[in-house]
Amino acid sequence: MNELALHILDIAQNSIRANAGLIEIRIHEKPDDNLLQMEIEDNGKGMSPQQVEQAANPFFTSRTKRKVGLGLPLLKQNAEQTEGSFQLHSEENKGTQLQVNFGFHHIDRPVLGDMAGTLLILAANEKQAEIKYSHETPKGQFEFDTRDIKKELDGIPLSTPEIRKFLNEMIRENLEQIQISE
Amino acid sequence: MNKIKSLADLKKLKEEVQSKIKLREKGDNPDNLIQIKVSMATCGIASGAKDTMNYFIEELDHQGIDALITQTGCMGFCYAEPTIELTMPGKQPVIYGYVDKAKAQEIIDKHIKLNELVDGIIPVSYKTIDE
């Protein structure tokens, strides 16, 4: 996977599967410190210490449909390739926090990609988990919270074509405003 | 430069959309809708499931076909990603493998519009060798 947006789409599904009510996604772009930081935090069912230890092992998964679980290992590999780091903390029945650092100027750093598409797919998840996204760059900050959107929409589904199109443009335009890279 | 969109604009749009939705809602029982589930775990995402899903959403909206398109977890057919599960109203679900944009178009044109099955169906009875 060569886009940060795809990794987020992938990893956040873990939170949805863990019955999280709220998933917070935070991106910090700090080119001066050569750092692109991504944090994902949820209040789902968490993992046992053994599971945390095994999580970055490609041959470990909590699923029964198949025997490999590549989501976290691929992300870890991508981070380490850019001289970054990968930290996973979890507490059972409390939630999970993931912090991944990438070398901002490293040639192998994944680009941001289609974040609007990712957020819209995540926002319409079937378990009604709320998504809070914040993105900070030296040029500014953008926040997107499905709770605010849902309040505004007052019962109209997020998947309505007109609403989807609007939200897509809204996220895209706001991110373009503060974008420095790419 | 245009002003960037904000939550306040959303409020305006909501009022426009609301009246349209009321008309649509009458037939909005999920059982009467075409349902498409796109498998979206690591394997699906890495193979382009996101593009497939967006294509279905855009194309069906463009053609004015009402459908419920959702993402789902891994269906266990990782070798054939992106996979989708298509349920026509009142019919058994059908799983298609290797659904890229061209395949998606074929499925819309033939299966959804004309109710003709398309090549590439994964039989329900298929199991991996290990199971």
Distance, first Cα to last Cα, chain A: 17
Helix axes A4-17, A115-123, angle to 10 degrees: 10
Task: Collect all residues from A whose CB is shorter than 8 A from any CB in B.
Answer: 1, 6, 9-10, 13, 17, 63, 65-67, 69-71, 74, 114, 117-118, 121, 124-126, 148-149, 152-154, 156, 159-164, 166-167, 169-170, 173-174, 177
Pairs from A61-65 (Cβ < 8 Å, separation ≥ 24): A63/B73, A63/B74, A65/B73, A65/B74, A65/B75, A65/B76
Higher pLDDT, B23 or A112: A112
Return phi, psi of residue B91, to 5°.
-115, 165
CB contact under 8 A, B40 and A9: yes
Higher pLDDT, A156 or B104: B104
Q: Tell me: the pLDDT tens digits for A96-106?
A: 999 999 999 99
Segment B63-91 mean pLDDT? 88
Looking at the structure of chain A, the number of domains it has is: 1
B27-122: CATH topology: Glutaredoxin (3.40.30)
pLDDT value of residue A78: 92
CA–CA dist A149, A160 (Å, integer): 13
Give B23's contacts (C-beta < 8 A, 6+ positions apart).
none
pLDDT value of residue B126: 56
At B30, which amino acid appears? P
B95: tokens are 């799983």
pLDDT value of residue B72: 86
CB contact under 8 A, B6 and A9: no
Q: Is the pLDDT of residue B130 over 50?
A: no
Q: Is the pLDDT of residue B28 over 70?
A: no
Helix axes A71-81, A4-17, angle to 10 degrees: 140
Instruction: Tell whether B57 lies on the interface with A, counting CB pairs under 8 A.
Output: yes
Higher pLDDT, A174 or A161: A174
Percent of chain B scoring above 90 in pLDDT: 39
A138: tokens are 């030296």
Beta bridge partners of B34: B67
Helix, strand, or coil (residue A135)? strand
Give A125's contacts (C-beta < 8 A, 6+ positions apart).
A16, B71
Element (H, E) at A143: strand A140-145
ipTM over 0.90: no
Give the range among A73-82, A111-120, B6-15 with minimum mean pLDDT.
B6-15
List the CATH number of the domain containing A37. Answer: 3.30.565
Q: Tell me: the pLDDT tens digits for A124-154?
A: 888 889 999 999 999 899 999 999 998 888 8
pLDDT value of residue A29: 93
Please count the other Cβ atoms lying within 10 Å of the Cβ belonging to residue A140.
12
pLDDT band at B2 (very low <50, low <70, confident <90, very high): low
At A161, which amino acid appears? P
Mean pLDDT rounded to a whole number for chain B: 84
Q: Is the pLDDT of residue A108 over 80?
A: yes
Instruction: Tell whether B110 lies on the interface with A, counting CB pairs under 8 A.
Output: no
DSSP code, position B56: H
Element (H, E) at A119: helix A115-123
Mean pLDDT rounded to a whole number for chain A: 89
In a mutagenesis test of the A interface, which of B21, B35, B45 is the best target, namely the one with the most A β-carbons within 10 Å? B45
pLDDT value of residue A98: 94
Q: Is the pLDDT of residue A23 over 60?
A: yes
Q: Is the pLDDT of residue B30 over 70?
A: no
Q: Tell me: the pLDDT tens digits for A28-84?
A: 999 999 999 999 999 989 999 998 888 888 888 888 777 788 899 999 999 999 999
Residue extents of the structural domains in chain B: 27-122
Q: Is the pLDDT of residue B96 over 90?
A: yes
Shortest distance between the Cα of B12 and any Cα of chain A, in A, equals 10
pTM, rounded to two decimals: 0.87
pLDDT value of residue B125: 65
